[in-house]
Structure 1
C-alpha cells in the first residue's frame, strides 16, 4: 500500500497525519511548534517526527509518495514561503529545505488553500472539481480549487478573499491596512464589531447588553428571539452574501464550502447570506451550491497529503 504524510503547521502545534491513497487517516498526531529563534527548529522537528513514524510503522521510503505541508503564509508554486509572522519565518524555500531534511519529495502550500483541497477531496466539497472554501474565523480566509487543483496565484496570495473591498464608508482599518474589507464584517471579530455598532444605535433591550460580546453569544441570542441579535445576524448575512457573490461571479464555482468557528451555527448561515448573494451575484452563478465544511482540524493534513498523492 502507498502512503503520504500530511503536515499542517500552526502557531501552537503542528498537526501531522499518515494517510493512504484513498484519503483514510491511518494515524494522526501533533508536535509543538517551536517558534523561538525565528522558528528554526520547526522543519527539523517535522522531519524527525516523520522519520520516527516511518521507523515505528516499518515503512519503506518506496511506499511513501512524499510529504505535503500547509503553512500560515503566502506560498508560491515552487514551495517558497514569503513570510509567516506568527511562527517567526521570513522568506524561505520551505519545500526544498524539508526535502533535504526528510529525504522524501515535498509539496508546500498556504494552509487555507491546503485545507480547501482537503475539503474538496474528502469533505464538504467532495465530488466537485471547482470549489471555493471560505473560513470564517478571526478573519475571513479562502481557498480556491479549480479542476481539482489549488489556485496559488503568482505570489501565493490566491484566495485572500477576506480583503475584498465591500464598504466605502468604513473608518476603521482592517489588519491589512485597508478599510471596508470583507473580513471586517463577516468574521467572528467582524460580527462583534457590527453588534457593538448596532447596540450603540438603538435603545432596544437585548441580552447582548449583559456580558461580553461573542459571535456564539450573538447567534444564540438570535436563535432565542432577541430582536437586536436578529438584526445583527441579518447585517452579518448581508455582508457575507455580498462578499461571496463577488467571489462567485469571478470564479463560478460548483460549490462554496463554509468552515471556521462561525460556521458552527450550522445551515442557518445559508439562510442569512442567500438574500444578498442572490441580489448581487451574476445571474449565471445563482445556482452555486453551499455546504458546510466537514473535516474540521483534519482538513489541513488531508489536503497536504493530497498534494503529493496527486490525481
Structure 2
C-alpha cells in the first residue's frame, strides 16, 4: 500500500494541492488557478495533470499514492462523491469522484470543504485531537463542520453542518444566497458584517466608520474590526449585533451536540482574540452552564492548509 496521500482543496479561485504522509507531515504543497469556464469542465483534468507532473518532479511513483482526498464547495453526496451543486464552480450533479478516478486511476474520496477543514483542524490543528468538535469558517459565507466521536456528521442527504443557514433574524432578515432570509451567514460572515456596518452609518453617520466610508466609498469587515479596536461606538454596536447572533447559534449547537472544542476559522478570524473573547461572552450567556464551562473556543491554527490536511486524512481513513 502506498505511503503517500494526496490532499486537494478546491476553492472558487484556487485549487490547493499537497502530498502528505500518513503522520500528517506535508512533503510539498502548491496551488493552481480554478478554471471555472464552461461550467468548470476543465477543473478535474487540470488537477490530475498538475498532480501527475508534481509526482514525476518528486520522483514518486503513482503506485506510492495510497489515495486522493478532495474537499469541494457545495452540497455533496459523500458516498457517491457527487456534487449536487457548487454555484461558484458551475457544477451541477457533477460526478467528481468518478471523473477524478477516471483521470488518475487512484481511489478518490470527496467531502464538503467545510467538513474537510474541520477534519484538518481535528487532526493537526486547533482541535488538538478532540473527537467531538465543531468547526466554523467565517469568510464571505459561513461554513461549518460537525465531528462527533471522530466521525463527520453528514446527515440524511449529506447536508449536515450547514451552520451558516441557521435562521438568526426571524423577521425582516436580509436575503441569503441559499434562497432563505435572515440566515446566520447574512450577519456573521465578512459580507454580513460589512452590510451591518453600512446600515449602521446610514442611520448614524458618525465616528471612525463614517470616516472610512467617506475616504474609501466602501466598508469591509476588516474596517469594522479596526474601528472596533479603536473603541468606535458604532463599530462596537455592529460587532455586538453580529457576534450575539453567532454566540447564540454556537451555544444552541453546543447544547445539542456537546463538543469539546469549537474552532473558529476563515478570513474573519483574522480579527484575532478580540473576536474569540466576544464570542465566548455571548456563548456563555446562551449555553447550558456545564457546557459553557467545559467547551473551549479557539481560533483555527492551520489557515489555508486546513483543507489539504483534512482531505489527506479522508484518503488515509477510507483506505484502511
Q: Could you say which TM-score interval applies, normalised by the shorter chain?
A: over 0.9
With 205-214 and 122-131 compared, the bigger mean Cα shift is at 205-214
Aligned mate of 1:295, from 287, 294, 302? 302
Residues in 1 aligned to 2:177 and 2:307: alpha-carbon distance in whole angstroms: 24
Deviation at 1:86, TM superposition (A): 1.4
Residues in 2 aligned to 1:171 and 1:304: alpha-carbon distance in whole angstroms: 35
Match of 2:11 in 1: 10
Q: Deviations over 1:79-111 (max 9, x none)?
A: 111111211211022112211210111111111
8 Å contact from structure 2 (residues 70, 111) kept in 1: yes
8 Å contact from structure 1 (residues 76, 153) kept in 2: no
SS at match of 1:90: strand
Deviation at 1:115, TM superposition (A): 1.2
Match of 2:277 in 1: 271
Structure 1 residues not aligned, in runs of 5+:
none
Residues in 1 aligned to 2:251 and 2:144: alpha-carbon distance in whole angstroms: 14
Match of 1:57 in 2: 58
Residues in 2 aligned to 1:200 and 1:12: alpha-carbon distance in whole angstroms: 33
Question: What does 1:138-157 correspond to in 2, within 5 Å?
Answer: 138-157=140-159
Residues in 2 aligned to 1:75 and 1:172: alpha-carbon distance in whole angstroms: 26
8 Å contact from structure 1 (residues 182, 240) kept in 2: yes
Q: Does 2:116 match 1:114? A: yes
Q: Does 2:223 match 1:217? A: yes
With 17-26 and 272-281 compared, the bigger mean Cα shift is at 272-281
SS at match of 2:154: coil
Match of 2:177 in 1: 175
Q: Does 2:235 match 1:229? A: yes
Residues in 2 aligned to 1:175 and 1:83: alpha-carbon distance in whole angstroms: 13
SS at match of 2:259: coil
Residues in 2 aligned to 1:162 and 1:52: alpha-carbon distance in whole angstroms: 37
For normalisation by structure 1, the TM-score amounts to 0.94
Deviation at 1:120, TM superposition (A): 1.0
Aligned mate of 1:307, from 307, 314, 317? 314
CA gap of 1:167–1:273, structure 2 versus 1, over 3 A, is: same
Deviation at 1:197, TM superposition (A): 2.9
Q: Does 2:34 match 1:48? A: no
8 Å contact from structure 2 (residues 6, 19) kept in 1: yes
CA gap of 1:127–1:171, structure 2 versus 1, over 3 A, is: closer
Residues in 1 aligned to 2:220 and 2:178: alpha-carbon distance in whole angstroms: 22
Residues in 1 aligned to 2:241 and 2:35: alpha-carbon distance in whole angstroms: 40
Runs of 4+ in structure 1 over 6 Å off: none
